[in-house]
Amino acid sequence: MLILGVESSCDETAAAILEDGRLLRANVINSQIAVHAEYGGVVPELASRHHLLNIYPVVQEALHQAEVSLDDIDALAVTQGPGLIGSLLVGLSFVKALALVRGLPFTGVDHLSGHISAVFLGDRQPDYPFVALVASGGHSSIFQVSGPLDYRLLGCSRDDAAGEAFDKVAKLLGLSYPGGPAVAERAAEGDGRAIKFPRAWLEADSLDFSFSGLKTSVVNFVNQCRMKNKPIPIADICASFQEAVVEVLVEKTVMAAKRQGIKHLTAAGGVASNQRLREVLSRRCREEGMELFLTPAEFCTDNAAMIALAGWYRLQNGETSGNDLDVYSRSSLWT
């Protein structure tokens, strides 16, 4: 069965073709980084307009890469939410029209379930149940995943998502957009112990996250440097900030696995492509006798392969969508 997956929730227009839930025949991503970079963040109106311009060529390119035509496609999968409403609507409307004209079944996919599924696009795959950390620009969440469609939220961010914190700190320091890779790059030249930024552990047993206090600490630190006319140690700030985010993400994920008595862990979402996070999580899992299955970095950031795979699971379960399907800005997996 050939599934065409489409993703347009934020600033990437992506299409992928997946065969039988296993063989990735095409994976095309058109990033709008250049469009939004001068504004230091995603401008929703511009994002929708560029999705409209890009979606048809991106799908055509995916068909070309997979050496198939629309006649060979058996079903469609599309991100339904969460994300920017205008951006999501472009992908969903496109897929609905295609489904209607071609008489194909389609299914709406939750973006977070896509991120969680992405680990199965790699060579090493966890057993169910596993604990999944999803750290992206919109979410920092820990799930217990007991089956392809069986998620239980164990903890989530009460304010900024981890990726959002990276993006805001980058903007404050005048680094390029998107902030995560830029901060990580500068962090490589800095000392992670140079500045003691706070770790928000919250209540002793909480698996929730909070990154807004950390962001404020970075703002205060930079302001103090300016007031004292001292140079701003950008590399040390980046390294110390990264260390603070990574420590909390890692310790809470390990705590969740311990509490649930689960030995298999996964990490996904854009922030999970961070090298330091991958190193520390690997070390802590080894120390705790747990097995870590890192989502390949190329499938951590937004892509349509993960949407096609999550769609495959839904279709296998008979979960197709109707023409009345609507987008949503917040995840149903949150509750």
19 interacts with, out of Zn ion, ligand KG4, none, CB within 5 to 8 A per kind: none
Please state, in angstroms and rounded to a whole number, the distance separating the CA atoms of residues 201 and 210: 8
What's the min distance (Å) between Cβ of 78 and ligand KG4? Answer: 15
Q: Sketch the per residue contact string, 29 through 68, with ligand KG4: x for CB under 6 A, - otherwise.
A: ----------------------------------------
- Asked if 38 and 21 count as a contact pair (C-beta separation under 8 A), the reply is no
Tokens of 121: 């696009």
Question: Which residue among 7, 167, 208, 243 contacts ligand KG4 (CB under 6 A)?
Answer: 167
274 interacts with, out of Zn ion, ligand KG4, none, CB within 5 to 8 A per kind: ligand KG4
| Nearest residue (CB) to ligand KG4, 55 versus 307 | 307
Other CB atoms within 10 A of residue 240 CB: 22
What's the min distance (Å) between Cβ of 165 and ligand KG4? Answer: 8
Sheet with 23-31: list strands edge to edge. 23-31, 12-19, 2-7, 75-81, 106-110
| 222 burial via Cβ count (<10 Å: 0-12, 13-18, 19+) | middle
**Piece of the chain touching ligand KG4 by CB under 6 A; list 14-22, 94-102, 142-150, 263-271:** 263-271
| Nearest residue (CB) to ligand KG4, 19 versus 164 | 164
Question: Which residue among 137, 148, 192, 311 contacts ligand KG4 (CB under 6 A)?
Answer: 137
Residue type at 94 in one-letter notation: F
**Piece of the chain touching ligand KG4 by CB under 6 A; list 175-183, 211-219, 226-234, 323-331:** 175-183
- The one-character DSSP state at 74 is -
Please state, in angstroms and rounded to a whole number, the distance separating the CA atoms of residues 222 and 169: 10
Question: Which residue among 180, 190, 192, 311 contacts ligand KG4 (CB under 6 A)?
Answer: 180
Please state, in angstroms and rounded to a whole number, the distance separating the CA atoms of residues 306 and 113: 8
DSSP strand pairing (75-81 vs 2-7): parallel
Q: Where are the alpha helices (DSSP H) in the chain?
A: 33-37, 44-66, 85-102, 111-117, 162-172, 179-187, 212-227, 234-260, 275-287, 305-316
Q: Tokens 């095309």: give the residue.
A: 28
Please state, in angstroms and rounded to a whole number, the distance separating the CA atoms of residues 234 and 278: 22
Does 301 help bind ligand KG4 (rule: CB under 6 A)? yes
Does 240 help bind ligand KG4 (rule: CB under 6 A)? no
184 interacts with, out of ligand KG4, Zn ion, none, CB within 5 to 8 A per kind: ligand KG4
Report the interface residues with Zn ion, using CB under 5 A: 136, 302
Say how many residues touch ligand KG4, by CB under 6 A: 20
Q: Which residues bind ligand KG4 (CB under 6 A)?
A: 10, 136-138, 163-164, 166-167, 178-181, 184, 269-271, 273-274, 301-302
